Structure 1
Amino acid sequence: MQTILGAGGAIGSELAKALGQQYTQKIRLVSRNPKKVNPTDELFAADLSNPADVDAAVAGSEVVYVTIGFEYKLSVWREKWPAFMRSVIDACAKHKAKLVFFDNVYMYDSAEIPHMTEESKMNPPSEKGKVRKQVIDMIFEAIKAKKINALIARSADFYGPGIGTSMLQETVSKNLQKDKAAQWIGGMDFKHSATYTPDAARATALLGNTPDAYDQVWHLPTYPDAPTGREWTELFAKEMNKKAKVSAIPKFMLKILGWFIPILGEVYEMTYQFEQPYFFDSAKFMKRFPDFKTTSYAEGIKEIVARG
């Protein structure tokens, strides 16, 4: 049995599809209201903030994938993430399940953002990043203590068809679709990598089913030729047959808008990622899995626009 905790999100559903196509028909989808992706999926309704529910969901699993996304709010992250990860680690140790954690780049030092690798220094400049580092430290402490085998599958900012949690799509493609100017946080002429969600899911499934991939960090495959904010807009506009209009959102404006639109206030502390080049290097993965095809930005955008 391979189990996905947080199966209903942008990555969880694509991961279930990838697992079902390539690796196993024994897949357990865990969330508050899980829905089948593959005909043979086992649905397991659970409150993942409850350790007893986590334990029951993990029981009988060989591999457990964590793709859950808690509300994007610092107070929620501080309350939910460490407690949840403790219950996941304990359950995996108890039931002898391997752990695959789908991660982001928030724990990296701001000076590492122009060229991030698996060896980049962890020194988070944001409060959300500090929570994320706390969770990563918990996993590696459990590995060191030989309680579990686990791997970190780390993604850049992501984009992909049919998702509503991509900042890139929310501020660029959706605005262009409405004949509005795209909006970009920070400098529009900095390169900015993004990981395509179907690629991320296929790669996470591959890592989870590769025995020697465990007990280390992997950057998920991300097309290397990162566009700038302006070029992202041009790529989307070209595919939509729209004018490539874009305006920058100044950092001070995010803070002001945050009083009225809370999510923008939560983004404020992450603006350092948009005030410099943002390059996510996945060479380690491509060296280990040279036959893996990574979707180009033009191909990914074409698919997003085609699927609405």
Structure 2
Amino acid sequence: MTQHVVVGAGPVGLAVMEQLRERGADVAAVTRHDPDFLPEGVESRLADVLYPDRAVAAFADADVVYHCAKPPYDQWPELFPDLTRGIVAGVEAAGARFVVAENLYMYGPVQARLSEDLPYAATGPKGQTRAECADIVLDAHEAGRIEATIGRASDFFGPRVRESVVGEQVFGAAVAGKRAKVFGDPRLAHTYTYVPDFARALVLLGERDEALGEVWHVPNPETVSTRRFVNLVYEAADVDPGFPHIIAAPGVALTLGGYLSAPLNYLSAPLKVLTEMRYAFEEPYVVRDAKFRETFGDAVEPTPLEDATAETVAWFESQREADETEPIHIETAPEGATESA
């Protein structure tokens, strides 16, 4: 049986594990600390794969490795390239296929729809770091050291996605009967990626030879304005249609919020990222996924937006019920730790 190893147990990593387990696959999760949750049947392996020798040991029997981990946001430039190099070393030693989950930061501000052939033009440190990490992976593939493919997604939403521009600030607010906090101009079109769809696409990329050596924008639900997206969330949460749903923060407030947000609050991460990424909410941000669809057909059909938002609301409602009976303890990662995407 093929051995699948997933690095990171955040929303994307867990969704990949669930997709693989639904197929009856042999799956191991590699994390730095004991994860709070793993799908049934997933083996837990503890290793800090920032260090190549530990990655080599953790991936020894791997046939496919999925990179779904990331350092803390404020340590990306210092840690992300070395984390990527450590994982690549482990993949190379195992002779495994490598599937990388990425976002779109490396492109920087664009004046057209985002497609895979755009140059890496990011001017901020997080976008430049993402570009460097992508180059590390693709350079290793071109050199024949590994077989790699990259799947890229826009802003996430879905079960377990709390640290997102539409996580607690939109879905969490909706189920609590509060107004959503959104950034930039909510009238603009913005592509959002449903995490279970992202996971299905990553698993497919790991299976298909034609995916190798290429970057792929994964299939997304239909692109609508952020205002329409928020309205769908509040409809799914059965909030009174007359209730004002949105508090919009302009660019100046966004920048200020990025500097003033409490550094240990888990909701501060999106604010700090958006200080650099504010351009994505001040112009239309539409992602093209035609390359994936034309190559793989309907192998990964994205979940309709109404269904995806409803499923996400249901998860947030279940968490709210659990939170009311049990206090939440939020741990911050120690310096040098690796978080999960």
Pick the TM interval, shorter chain.
over 0.9
Match of 2:226? 229
Match of 2:78? 79
SS in 2 for 1:116: coil
RMSD (Å), alpha carbons = 1.6
Runs (5+) with no aligned partner, structure 2: 318-341
Aligned residues: 301
Match of 2:16? 15
CA distance in 1, matches of 2:124, 2:68: 21
Q: Which one has more relative contact order, counting CA pairs under 8 Å at least 6 apart? A: 2
Question: Aligned letter for 2:246?
Answer: V
Match of 2:249? 249
CA distance in 2, matches of 1:79, 1:10: 23
CA distance in 2, matches of 1:94, 1:197: 30
CA distance in 1, matches of 2:141, 2:301: 30
Return 134-143 or 173-182, whichever deviates more.
173-182
Superimposed CA distance per residue, residues 111-169 of structure 1 (whole angstroms, 9 cap, x where no aligned partner): 25x41111122111321000000111111111121111100111111100232122212
Match of 1:109? 108
Question: Aligned letter for 2:311?
Answer: E
SS in 1 for 2:224: coil
CA distance in 2, matches of 1:120, 1:260: 32
Verify the 8 A CA contact 1:233 1:244 in the aligned structure 2.
no
Match of 2:314? 306
CA distance in 2, matches of 1:144, 1:305: 42
Q: 1:151 aligns with which of 139, 149, 152?
A: 149
Give the alignment's TM-score, normalised by structure 1.
0.92
Q: How does 1:111-190 map to 2 (within 5 A)?
A: 111-112=110-111, 114-190=112-188
Runs (5+) with no aligned partner, structure 1: none
Superimposed CA distance per residue, residues 217-244 of structure 1 (whole angstroms, 9 cap, x where no aligned partner): 1111102x31212111211111112224
> Cα offset for 1:107?
0.4
CA distance in 2, matches of 1:123, 1:163: 27
CA distance in 1, matches of 2:159, 2:261: 29
Identical-residue share of aligned pairs (%): 29
CA distance in 1, matches of 2:273, 2:125: 10
CA distance in 2, matches of 1:275, 1:56: 45
Change (3 A) 1:90 1:50: closer
SS in 1 for 2:229: helix
Question: Aligned letter for 1:109?
Answer: G
CA distance in 1, matches of 2:261, 2:7: 32
Match of 2:337? none
> Cα offset for 1:87?
1.3
Return 284-293 or 94-103, whichever deviates more.
284-293
Verify the 8 A CA contact 1:237 1:244 in the aligned structure 2.
no
Verify the 8 A CA contact 1:16 1:38 in the aligned structure 2.
no
